[in-house]
Amino acid sequence: MTRPVSTPLALPASLSEADEAALADLFRRGTPENTLRAWERDLAYIAAWKQARFGAALAWPEEEQVVLRFVLDHSIDLEAEGGQARRAAEVLIAAGLRRSLGCPAPATLDRRVASWRAFHRMKNLPSPFEAPLIRQARGKARRAAAREPNPKSPHPITREVLEAMLKSCDDSHRGTRDRAVLMLGWASGGRRRSEIAGLNCDDIDAREFAAKGLLRIRLLRTKTTGPERAPRLPLKGRAARAVMGWMRLAELEAGPLFRPISLADRPLPRRITADGIRRIIRHRLELAGYPADFATAHGLRSGFLTQAALDGAPLAAAMQLSLHRSAIQAQRYYADVEIAENPAANLLGD
């Protein structure tokens, strides 16, 4: 399947084919890769659902009754239900597009509807999602299916866990790389694995390293920023020395910062993948005496914020590094800290 944004846009007739092609290309270049992939999956799911439910392809703009039926079909547990909704769900399960007959999480429904709306906007078409009945149905569905959110990592990688993982890193190319990956990923604000894997050597500004032991890390793309607002995050002390030690040992001057290591313990020229970052974390957890599934790669992010809360760092200061846009979302990590461990509980001292 081609990228969704390559679908011809329904534009004013005055636009030429060249203008339409340029606009479609602009959407592709101006949309983060992760968003493109999510749109692609969601559109494939929605199209398959309509074909199974109504025996028809998607319409542009879509009819309100079809959108309402989509919301209703994805707001109930179909285990105990029969009829067309269940039969359509079974078709999607057989196609590998749906996991079970259970009611999808409200966030999943919201994301798919958001993707559907995005395509209506790109096609310059009126959106059926603003109809009062559909908006109310979505709100009721969200409340009816509300559930406690599952954490992205079973446990945060706090300082104690991180130190145990770092002790397993020797001075080989693999150990030196893994030490730099873990320390950069944690100390620069809890980076996502895609952000770590996407770093290049020229994203590391070492001009202040000799005098201050300080590196500045440029993140060209994050979940919340793009190249036009690329943040430059500080990396200090042990973490900065770990990154510089890796670059010197591997003799890196250009290209990807983190790379796979061969069986002969030599860095390869290609970029490590996000899944490679996941494998590093699982491997180092096991060597540190933890189960491999003790934490996911997101544990670096949750661990940084959890440790910031434990150490009494202001939320706003932690968010400057984590790059959370929502204080409510970042606050969850602070709220998860055992209240007896909150530094505010000991303001008078022992």
Residue 76: predicted pLDDT? 84
Write out the H or E segment, with its range, that includes residue 107. Answer: helix 106-122
| Cα angle for residues 215, 299, 111 (degrees, 5° grid) | 105
Q: Is 146 left (phi over 0), alpha (psi -120 to 50) or beta?
A: beta
Residue 1: predicted pLDDT? 38
Q: Going residue by residue through the chain (350 aa), what tens digit of pLDDT does each one get?
A: 334 444 444 444 456 778 777 877 887 777 777 788 888 899 999 999 999 999 999 998 999 999 999 998 988 888 877 789 899 999 999 999 998 888 888 888 889 998 998 888 887 888 888 888 888 888 887 787 666 666 777 888 999 999 999 999 999 999 999 999 999 999 999 899 999 999 999 999 999 999 999 999 998 766 655 555 668 899 999 999 999 999 999 999 999 999 999 999 999 999 999 999 999 999 999 999 999 999 998 899 989 988 988 888 888 888 888 888 777 777 777 766 655 555 655 665 66
How many beta carbons lie within 10 A of that of residue 194, not counting itself? Answer: 17
Bond into 8 cis (ω within 30) = no
What's 188's DSSP letter? T
Tokens matching residue 50 = 């309509």
- Domain topology for 4-144: DNA polymerase; domain 1 (1.10.150)
Q: Where in the chain is the domain with CATH 1.10.150.130?
A: 4-144
Residue 225: predicted pLDDT? 58
Cβ pair 177, 277 in contact under 8 A = no
326 CB-side CA count, 13 A: 5
Residue 82: predicted pLDDT? 75
Q: Taking the mean position of all CA atoms in its chain, how far away is CA 65?
A: 33
What whole-number distance in Å separates Cα of residue 35 and Cα of residue 32? 5
Residue 179, burial from CB neighbour count under 10 angstroms (0-12, 13-18, 19+):
buried
Instruction: Please state, in angstroms and as integers, the Cα–Cα distance from residue 276 to each residue in 49, 108, 152, 233, 279, following that order.
Output: 34, 26, 18, 23, 5
Range 159-346: architecture per CATH: Orthogonal Bundle (1.10)
Q: Where in the chain is the domain with CATH 1.10.443.10?
A: 159-346
Residue 341: predicted pLDDT? 59
What whole-number distance in Å separates Cα of residue 341 and Cα of residue 230? 35
User: What does 22-80 look like in DSSP terms, one character per residue?
Assistant: HHHHHHHHTS-HHHHHHHHHHHHHHHHHHHHHHSS---SSPPHHHHHHHHHHTSS-GGG
Non-local (6+) Cβ contacts of 261 within 8 A are 173, 174, 177, 267, 268
Write out the H or E segment, with its range, that includes residue 218. Answer: strand 214-218
Q: Are strands 232-236 and 214-218 parallel, antiparallel or unpaired?
A: antiparallel
